Amino acid sequence: MKFLSPVVPLAVLPLLVQAHAGKYAHHNVIPRQASATGSDIAPPSQIPDSAGAAPSTDSFVLSLTSINPTALPLSAIVSTAQPAPTQEVSPIYPQGAVPPNIIGAPPLPDDILQKDYPTPDDVPPVNSAEVEEWIREVANSGVPIPDIPINLEGGCTVAGNAVAAADTDRSRCWWTCTGCTRKTDITQCPQKGTFGLSFDDGPAPYTPDLLDFLDQQKLKATFFVVGSRVYYRPDLLRKQYMEGHQIAVHTWSHPELTTLTNEQIIAELGWSRRVIQDTLGVTPNMMRPPYGDIDDRVRAISVAMGLTPVIWTQGFDTEDFEIGSGGTTVQQSLQNWERITAAASTSDKGFIVLEHDLFQQTVELATGYILPDAIGHNYTIQPIVTCMGLPLNDAYMETNNNQTHPDPAQGAQAIFTGPTKALLPPTHTPASASGPGTSTSPSNNVNKKNSNSARAVFSVLGMGATSLLAGLISILA
């Protein structure tokens, strides 16, 4: 049963939500972080208002097909909301448990998180034995890594990125600024009316509430998880995986990938892949770049590491991420969602929307409003791998039979044809003195038990230092 569950009956058709923008007035609405503006350049025919713009009148009406009767009122979904109680992870899936839905999956491994990992929420050092092994993997993949300059932080509107952002000859194919995609990328579901459901940045404190709702509605999603969040919440990742959701890579520390060196990108993707594999026994083969920040250099490295880039349909960003920081309002996010449903109705393809399970506000918006409305629209709601017509075992390297979902590195030589850059030779060992490409000491690797208390606070909040900083930047911008 996909639509109305007997467990959580949804109020149906048509339900008007009155909201008064004056109450949350954002004259001079804060522009969202420049690095995340990929969605702001949707073709006007699809998404009329530029995302993030203030409502033009003092009050506006949202027309949703359906709302969860237990939804919090919109007036409670604000940046200043008191933290709601969180649930314990339940059940805890033990070592040896086998996921029922994945053909050929290994049992859950022993010994989760007893290994040394890089410092959570920092770009990992590039001179560890692990990263050097992954650099060799990329070098041996046969995928040419384009010689594209490293971008400055801050995205498309930063003056120093002007040439890259214009990308007039499409040699960079920087999606964030131009919407450019390659054959490697997944940005929509093939079938009209299909909603590829995904949530980024968890596992986080309110993810269990989202999982409860999805379970009641018999829905599955794709979770693009941050390695540093997995490090703190391995049992929650196991629950997501064991209950049939797709797990995919969203880097170790959530940086703008186009601002990193090749070796740092490898370290970000490699550690995220590794902590997931250590926790689940399987390695995802899809990734989403934080902020949608991907160009041909990031693309080539991703596919060389066996990771298919998954972005979101151009313009299909709820901007839910900005509610917690006060950068936007829940009303504005719902208006974004209504523009998305309008655009979906005129597209002959299905679509992928950007949402987050990182904050209580984003989970409340999804479970109270967006998902009930999506159900009311009769969308076919599926994880990305499923909407692509693939079985769930195709989503992991260990269980992919490579037939319906071939290694993305295949055919990459025909895509990345410009000048290339050699990777730093991984010659020195972690015990040796600094060598070429050494940006940080390997002693930056920490064991979980030694992680400092400031990071523990971030973990309680479910936020990385990076996301706090991103929030701050967007407030100051």
Ligand X SMILES: *[C@@H]1O[C@H](CO)[C@@H](O)[C@H](O)[C@H]1NC(C)=O
Instruction: Summarize as ranges the residues that interact with ligand X (CB under 6 A).
Output: 65, 377-378, 400-402, 407
CB 316 within 8 A of CB 45: no
Q: What is the number of alpha carbons within 13 Å of residue 40 lying toward its C-beta?
A: 17
Closest contact distance (angstroms) between CB of 65 and ligand X is 6
How far apart are the C-alpha atoms of 282 and 306, rounded to whole Å? Answer: 13
CB 287 within 8 A of CB 257: no
Judged by beta carbon, residue 18 or residue 403, the one nearer ligand X is: 403
Residues in a beta bridge with 249: 225, 287
How far apart are the C-alpha atoms of 36 and 21, rounded to whole Å? Answer: 24
Judged by beta carbon, residue 402 or residue 404, the one nearer ligand X is: 402
* Active site (annotated) includes residue 27: no
* Backbone torsions φ then ψ of 18, nearest 5 degrees: -85, 135
Judged by beta carbon, residue 408 or residue 464, the one nearer ligand X is: 408
Closest contact distance (angstroms) between CB of 20 and ligand X is 27
Closest contact distance (angstroms) between CB of 61 and ligand X is 18
Judged by beta carbon, residue 173 or residue 189, the one nearer ligand X is: 189
- The amino acid at 184: T
Judged by beta carbon, residue 212 or residue 338, the one nearer ligand X is: 338
3-state SS record for 8-21: CCCEEEEEEEEEEH
Marked catalytic residue, from 121, 122, 167, 200: 200
Closest contact distance (angstroms) between CB of 18 and ligand X is 21
How far apart are the C-alpha atoms of 202 and 238, rounded to whole Å? Answer: 12
- The amino acid at 332: Q
Tokens, residue 120: 């959570």
Closest contact distance (angstroms) between CB of 323 and ligand X is 26
Marked catalytic residue, from 295, 356, 394, 405: 356
How far apart are the C-alpha atoms of 39 and 291, rounded to whole Å? Answer: 10
* Active site (annotated) includes residue 356: yes
Catalytic sites, residue numbers: 200, 356
